[in-house]
């Protein structure tokens, strides 16, 4: 049941106290990809994530539970959301925890409109550094790659053929909200390849037996670092056109090369590109 | 109920067909840290993980479910285990899936004896490269760090003050079994600091506002790369004695520096050390 609650800021927000409330059940369903697709909306949980979302995402609703707030800026975030036309609803702790994806919720969950992420929204100027991720299966990896790409200062991320929904709560969470700050395209491999090739952007792919070590490849020009799926790596159409680079790995106990988690591989290659682009001569190399 | 089943290899193994079997319930309980501590044993699931475990771990039992096998080498692994004194038990699919930690189990789960991991088992020769992880909370991160450390060719990993049990199924899984291949110590921060300092090993810590970029620091000598917990970073006793290095990150949307997932940070710093140690002059730096 929804009733008028205590005044928050300038006027009273509706309050939900029951965990079996119909709206609560609807929000829980947004954890599932098919319900997100049907509603055209997705969940954004957490202060940091919502703050980062405010620049790009049309925030439809914002659910809050004061008992779970841990910082000092929640009221200001609510005020900004309200000013932007977001509907605010107060939740009691029990229904809030039912919706939350977290062990330690911080009392803020928004519903954002799924936003378009076309290739032509990406920058492609001279010297761009892009991350391409293809067929990623695990939300935690996809989110960590978005976070890593932002920290490495990429100009954009292209998500191709995702095997996990980029708007899922695990991706939002692991990205710490960088799903909303990095220039982003979500597309298929064919379109991404055409777009990159038309713009003369060199595609680099981490391949275990490539002759060039990553630090021997010149990553200072317009470059797209391509990382494939956890199980299968990059699909053949990427491997065929990419310039192969090898992250030099120690031999495994069985003699073959070891491998890296997809997000770690992205980090190693992107920060190698950042190092080369910093123009600083490195000790140990001279 | 346990009964004699079809012949596997040279003699019949006992077979469990019921998911409510007492032994199955006991194995399921091994997912919990307190039951592992009480039993002095832990679960090792998967062909790759078990293969890597065979060099270091005393494998007490091996449970298998032929219907779930996907490769061609399972029988050989069983034969090696049997020859080493491991007790083999065949499981029907239903009880096997109850024990499994995976979405796509491959029909092999072992029970290993928890092994000692003392500091004095680590190498500390001239030029050693070590990874220190302190207070890590997430099994997936701890496992990914072990996998990354192996790929980067470290001489050892020191796990300090773990906030997640290193013998948990999530760590075994994310490490792909490298929990069993890398020289490993599990200890507290005080002991680890003394051990490192007594051996003159320089401790490097990733600190966001450190003056030296990671590629400006000399990581070619005896070095321990220290990574702190996901929530709180390194504890102050580490930060006080460590040589701070900065992974040069792009400014976040709010102006402050972004941050990296703990496993990604470990990968970036370890492979920077590997680059410097490779003695290869890098393009982009000259």
Domain ranges of chain B: 2-113, 119-278
The pLDDT assigned to A282 comes to 42
Q: How would residue B281 be classed by pLDDT, with cut points 50, 70 and 90?
A: very low
Residue written as token pair 């039951």 = B35
CA distance B217 to A249: 21
Cβ contacts (< 8 Å) between B170 and chain A: which residues? none
β-strands A243-245, A184-187 pairing: unpaired
- Which of A55, A216, A267 is nearest residue B267 as measured by Cβ atoms? A267
CA distance A248 to A200: 27
Asked if residue B274 lies in contact with residue B154, where contact means CB atoms within 8 angstroms, the answer is no
Residues in contact with A239: Cβ distance below 8 Å, sequence separation at least 6, in sequence order: A205, A207, A233
Q: Would an 8 Å CB–CB cutoff place B218 in contact with chain A?
A: yes
User: For A2-113, which CATH class?
Assistant: alpha beta
pLDDT digits (tens, 9 = 90+) for B171-225: 999 999 999 999 999 999 999 999 999 999 999 998 878 899 999 999 999 999 9
Q: Would an 8 Å CB–CB cutoff place B271 in contact with chain A?
A: yes
pLDDT digits (tens, 9 = 90+) for B8-29: 445 689 999 998 999 999 999 9
CB contact under 8 A, B151 and A249: yes
- Stretch 224-253 of chain A: residues touching chain B, C-beta under 8 Å: 247-250, 252-253
- Which of B178, B219, B261 is nearest residue A144 as measured by Cβ atoms? B261
Q: Locate all alpha helices (DSSP H) within A89-222, ordered by sequence.
A: 93-99, 139-151, 169-174, 189-198
CA distance A177 to A57: 11
Cβ contacts (< 8 Å) between A272 and chain B: which residues? 271, 275
- What phi and psi, each to the nearest 5 degrees, are found at residue B194? -60, -45
CB contact under 8 A, B249 and A153: yes
User: For A119-278, which CATH class?
Assistant: alpha beta
The pLDDT assigned to A283 comes to 44
Question: Which of the residues A171, A174, A180, A253 would you substitute to probe the B interface, choosing the one with the greatest number of B C-beta atoms within 10 Å?
Answer: A253
Closest CA to B82 of B106, B68, B64: B64
Mean pLDDT in each 10-residue stretch from start to end of chain A (286 residues)?
49 88 95 96 97 94 96 94 96 96 95 96 86 97 96 96 97 96 96 96 90 94 95 92 92 68 96 87 42
Question: How does DSSP assign A29-65, residue by residue?
Answer: HTTSHHHHHHHTEEEEESHHHHHHHTTT--EEEEEE-
The pLDDT assigned to B284 comes to 44
Which residue does chain A place closest to B285, by CA atoms? A281
Question: How does DSSP assign A215-229, residue by residue?
Answer: TTS--SSSEEEEE-B
The pLDDT assigned to B153 comes to 93
β-strands B59-64, B129-134 pairing: unpaired
CB contact under 8 A, A259 and B220: no
CA distance A121 to A133: 17
Distance (Å) of CA B167 to CA B50, B64, B121, B158? 14, 20, 18, 14
CB contact under 8 A, B216 and A283: yes
CB contact under 8 A, A215 and B248: no
Rg of chain B over all Cα atoms, to the nearest angstrom: 22
The pLDDT assigned to A11 comes to 62
pLDDT digits (tens, 9 = 90+) for B238-248: 999 999 999 99
Cβ contacts (< 8 Å) between B268 and chain A: which residues? 267-268, 271
Q: Tabulate helix, strand, coil % of chain A (nearest 5).
A: 35, 25, 40
The pLDDT assigned to A226 comes to 97
- Which of A219, A261, A283 is nearest residue B284 as measured by Cβ atoms? A219
Q: Would an 8 Å CB–CB cutoff place A280 in contact with chain B?
A: yes
- Stretch 251-270 of chain B: residues touching chain A, C-beta under 8 Å: 252-254, 257-261, 263-268
Sign of dihedral through CA atoms A30, A146, A46, B163? positive
CA distance B182 to B266: 15
The pLDDT assigned to B113 comes to 98
Residues in contact with B255: Cβ distance below 8 Å, sequence separation at least 6, in sequence order: none
CA distance B190 to B199: 14
Q: Would an 8 Å CB–CB cutoff place B55 in contact with chain A?
A: yes
Residue written as token pair 């990733």 = B206
Q: Would an 8 Å CB–CB cutoff place A150 in contact with chain B?
A: yes
The pLDDT assigned to B66 comes to 96
Encoding tokens for residue B218? 């000399």
The DSSP code for B235 is -
Q: Would an 8 Å CB–CB cutoff place B127 in contact with chain A?
A: no
Residue scoring higher pLDDT (B3 or A177): A177
Mean pLDDT of B274-281: 78
The pLDDT assigned to A10 comes to 52
pLDDT digits (tens, 9 = 90+) for B128-139: 999 999 999 999
Which residue does chain A place closest to B260, by CA atoms? A148
Longest Cα–Cα distance in chain B: 70
Q: In chain B, where do the E strands start and end? A: 2-8, 11-16, 41-45, 59-64, 87-91, 108-113, 129-134, 156-160, 184-187, 202-206, 223-227, 243-245
pLDDT digits (tens, 9 = 90+) for B138-162: 999 999 999 999 999 999 999 999 9
In the beta sheet, which residues pair with residue A63? A89, A109
CA distance A99 to B266: 33
């Amino acid at each position: 049941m929804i009733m008028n609650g205590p005044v928050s800021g300038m006027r009273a927000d509706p309050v939900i106290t029951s965990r079996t409330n119909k709206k609560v059940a609807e929000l829980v369903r947004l954890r599932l990809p098919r319900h997100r697709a049907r509603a055209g909306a997705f969940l954004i949980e957490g202060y940091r994530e919502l703050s980062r979302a405010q620049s790009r995402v049309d925030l439809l609703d914002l659910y809050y539970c004061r008992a779970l707030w841990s910082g000092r800026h929640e009221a200001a975030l609510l005020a900004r959301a309200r000013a932007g036309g977001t509907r605010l609803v107060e939740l009691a702790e029990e229904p809030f925890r039912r919706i939350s994806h977290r062990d330690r919720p911080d009392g803020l969950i928004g519903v954002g409109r799924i936003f378009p992420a076309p290739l032509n929204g990406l920058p492609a100027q001279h010297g761009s550094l892009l991350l391409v991720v293809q067929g990623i299966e695990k939300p935690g990896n996809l989110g960590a790659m978005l976070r890593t790409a932002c920290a490495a200062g990429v100009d954009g991320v292209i998500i191709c053929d995702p095997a996990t929904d980029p708007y899922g709560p695990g991706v939002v969470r692991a990205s710490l909200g960088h799903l909303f700050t990095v220039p982003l395209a979500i597309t298929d491999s064919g379109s991404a390849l055409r777009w990159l090739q038309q713009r003369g952007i060199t595609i680099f792919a981490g391949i275990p037996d490539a002759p060039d070590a990553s630090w021997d490849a010149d990553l200072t020009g317009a470059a797209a670092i391509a990382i494939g799926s956890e199980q299968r790596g990059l699909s053949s159409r990427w491997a065929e056109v990419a310039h192969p680079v090898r992250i030099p790995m120690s031999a495994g106990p069985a003699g073959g090369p070891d491998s890296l988690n997809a997000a770690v591989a992205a980090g190693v290659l992107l920060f190698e590109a950042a190092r080369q682009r910093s123009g600083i001569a490195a000790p140990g190399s001279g």
